[in-house]
Structure 1
Amino acid sequence: MTGTEAVVVGADRRRGVRSRIATVLTWVARAALALVFVGAGASKLAGEAAMVEMFDDIGAGQWLRLVVGALEVAGAVGVLVPRVALLAAAGLTLLMVGATLTNLLVLGASPVVTFALGVLAATVVVVLRRRQTAQG
């Protein structure tokens, strides 16, 4: 093997390791999103008192609580299904944009959690999109 071939093999090996690490980290992020959103969505769908009160404070009605809860549960399931994970993560990102704005502009609550979840979901979107583009 020539020096040039060794460099190419070494670079390929490093790319393979980085790709595996990225895959594992993406799955960890997707699992975290699924856990958080299945819990959040279930609490909304179950009509927990805190969720009912929060949506009363928003003033849009309880129908919005049910829609958001259903979308959160659907997104939680979707991020774990490879075929729809990109779309599900994008949907969760948009939900968190709405939740962050609602916290800031309507509820006067801290947007830190919703913003962080939105950033995590958006990161998953970017990684999955890059992977799709690289695969052709």
Structure 2
Amino acid sequence: MTISASLTPTNRRIVWGVRALLALAFAAAGIAKMAGVAQMVQVFDAIGIGQWFRFMTGTIEITGAVLVLLPATVFFGALLLAVTMICGVATHLFVIGGNPAPALMLALMSAFVAWRLRPVFQLLALR
């Protein structure tokens, strides 16, 4: 298994910068959810599933923030965060209202990292 495309030093720095931003954003959001910040409690009350969903989302965000920093797990972390934010966009559009742009931007950034660092499996040639 290899990384999808060889990255130039400039591209490598860009991807690292996006990874760092994602880690900071998702760690902060996840910690806020886990700590029970009033705004987060209100948002998840509006969603209507229950506060357990706030804890689950916070756990997913913190886990994704860690995974996106580790070279061996960056693809899976970025993919996890992209899917989480796609669900966040849908929640804003169809359930709670509000501006889905921040969630959309985080989804796009996560998808960018997942795409740039996707694994490529090489098949062995049969002789």
TM-score normalised to structure 2 length: 0.88
Residue identity opposite 1:63 in structure 2: W
Identity %: 38
- Greater fraction helix: 1
State the Cα RMSD in Å: 1.7
- The structure whose Rg is larger is 1
Q: Deviations over 1:56-82 (max 9, x none)?
A: 000000000000000000000110000
TM-score normalised to structure 1 length: 0.83
Q: Which residue of 1 aligns with 2:91?
A: 102
Dislocated runs of 4+, deviation >4 Å: none
Residues 135/80 of structure 1: CA separation in 2 closer, same or farther (3 Å cut): farther
Residue segments in structure 1 that go unaligned for 5+ positions in a row? 1-15
Q: Which residue of 2 aligns with 1:13?
A: none
Q: Which residue of 2 aligns with 1:20?
A: 9
Q: Which residue of 2 aligns with 1:133?
A: 120
* 1:65 equivalent among 54, 72, 81: 54
Highest RCO, 1 vs 2 (Cα 8 Å, sep ≥ 6): 2
Q: How many residues align?
A: 118
